[in-house]
Amino acid sequence: MTRSDPPRRLITLDDTSKPPANFSPAVRVGNQVFVAGMVSMSGGEVVGSGDIVAQTRQALANVDTALRRAGASFEDIVRYRVYLTDMNDLPGVRTVLNERLGSIRPAGTLVAVSSLVLPNLKIEIDADAIVGSALVQDNTEPKSGVTTT
- Cβ-count burial 91-127 (b if 16+ within 10 Å, e if not): ebbeebbeebbeebebeeeeeeeeebeeeebbbbbbb
pLDDT of residue 140: 47
Q: Indicate the fold that domain 8-14+24-130 takes in CATH.
A: 60s Ribosomal Protein L30; Chain: A; (3.30.1330)
Strand 77-84 to 45-46 pairing: unpaired
pLDDT tens for each residue of 27-66: 999 999 999 999 999 988 999 999 999 999 999 999 999 9
Indicate the SS3 state at residue 54: helix
pTM of the model: 0.85
Q: Rounded CA gap, 129 and 76, in Å?
A: 5
pLDDT of residue 53: 98
Percent of the chain with pLDDT over 90: 71
Pick the residue with more confidence: 24 or 139?
24
